[in-house]
Amino acid sequence: MDIRLHRRNFLTLAGAATLGGLGLAGHTNHAKAAEDLVWLTWENLAKDDYIGPFLSQSGIGLTKNFIGTDDEQFAKLRAGGSSSVDLITPGLDKVELYVASNLLQPIDLARVPNAASLYDTFKNTPLGKKDGQTYGLPFYWGINPIVYRADLMSEEPDWSVFFTGEKYKGRLAMRDYALEGIMIAALYLGIPRERMFDMDDRELAEVKKALLAQKGLLRTYWNSISDLTNLFATGEVACAFSWVPPYYELLGRGLNMGMAKPKQGVIGWCDTLAIPAGVSDERLDATLKLVDYLLGADYGAKLAVGGPYALSTSLAREKLTEEQQEKIFVKDLSIMDSFVWKANPARYSDWVRLWNEVKAS
């Protein structure tokens, strides 16, 4: 089995993963010492001009393998791909699943100096950790706000617009995603954040009632961000729980867009850097160097402009203009107090079932 061949692209990686799962994994382990690092990540995080300086300075080689969804990344690793990957990029809320499946190793923060500059909220979050050890190191983050057509709405909306009142009936959209849909209902209902992912039957019943009311107000559920952008552009939808990109894209096209971050709380998301369990020795050293670079000011400044996304450390913040800071929500750091980080609910199957019940009603 020729390792280099398998690393060319994604498909062959998948093939290797499958074969690895069949018990050929041991074969790959000792053959890779002197080779490139392999980073399983999103395409927009590994652009050449973001990481080029680090690679030329350190002399480390890097192979990038891109993922389409978080679930895909998880499935791949579980199927045995962990042995041929040195760094992965799971969501903060998903790290728990990887840890439970024994796919990750704890990260020695002493060997990642830039981790000391993590914002407090990331330092203190219990997510990505187990028994006091960090498995998923917060990497970059953003928020999922309400985006709306300011020309079609007379006031800045908050979550209640999705649950009560007839004014915008038939002009609203919600993401077709159980986790966020139910979190928003919980935020609207005022369910305490610390209980949000451990709601009991009574609370879930309340949530369901609210979501049923919501369904009557919706024009549709949206499935992909390009779908939602299209809905805004064609005037089908005036206001939606959204991601940030449509806001800038439609502003750029001349539409009068608004973005609201409700006081009840904003859903924040964060992707982490995590190291598969099998990485060791000089490969681990090189990986930790890469991790440190990815949390540093140089990378952060580029991501802030190109993403635009904010790093989990404060290191790049000083290099940015106020406008750039505003764009990635780090100008006024108090926003972090209203964040609700996505987590993995204990009864996620019940959540999905509830969500399907609402949609099928």
By the rule CB under 8 A, 61 interacts with other proteins: no
Residue 126, preceding peptide bond in cis (omega within 30° of 0): no
CB of 123 to other proteins, least distance (A): 26
* Nearer to other proteins among residue 206 and residue 236 (C-beta): 236
14-19 long-range contacts, CB within 8 A, separation 24+: 14/76, 14/81, 16/81, 16/84, 17/76, 17/79, 17/80, 17/81, 17/84, 18/79, 18/80, 19/80
By the rule CB under 8 A, 124 interacts with other proteins: no
Site for other proteins (CB under 8 A): how many residues? Answer: 32
Residue 150 tokens read as 């300011």
CB of 357 to other proteins, least distance (A): 4
Q: Which helix (H) or strand (E) holds 129?
A: strand 129-130
When binding is defined by CB under 8 A, the residue of 230, 264, 314, 338 that contacts other proteins is: 230
Could you please report the per-residue DSSP string of 255-285?
Answer: --EEEE--TT-EEEEEEEEEEETT--HHHHH
CB of 33 to other proteins, least distance (A): 31
299 contact partners, CB below 8 Å, separation of at least 6: 50, 51, 54, 293, 311, 316
When binding is defined by CB under 8 A, the residue of 71, 151, 155, 198 that contacts other proteins is: 71
Pairing of strands 266-276, 339-341: parallel
When binding is defined by CB under 8 A, the residue of 42, 221, 243, 248 that contacts other proteins is: 221
By the rule CB under 8 A, 339 interacts with other proteins: no
By the rule CB under 8 A, 101 interacts with other proteins: yes
Which amino acid is present at 260? Answer: A
By the rule CB under 8 A, 249 interacts with other proteins: no
Q: Which helix (H) or strand (E) holds 288?
A: helix 281-294
* Nearer to other proteins among residue 35 and residue 176 (C-beta): 176
When binding is defined by CB under 8 A, the residue of 164, 223, 256, 321 that contacts other proteins is: 223
* Nearer to other proteins among residue 97 and residue 305 (C-beta): 97
CB of 91 to other proteins, least distance (A): 11
* Nearer to other proteins among residue 16 and residue 179 (C-beta): 179
By the rule CB under 8 A, 256 interacts with other proteins: no
Q: What are 310's strand-pairing partners? A: 141
Residue 102 tokens read as 């024994």
* Nearer to other proteins among residue 167 and residue 353 (C-beta): 353
Residue 303 backbone phi and psi in degrees, to 5: -65, -35
Q: Which parts of this chain interact with other proteins (CB under 8 A)?
A: 69, 71, 97, 100-101, 170, 176-179, 215-216, 218-221, 223, 227, 230, 234-236, 348-349, 351-353, 355-357, 359-360
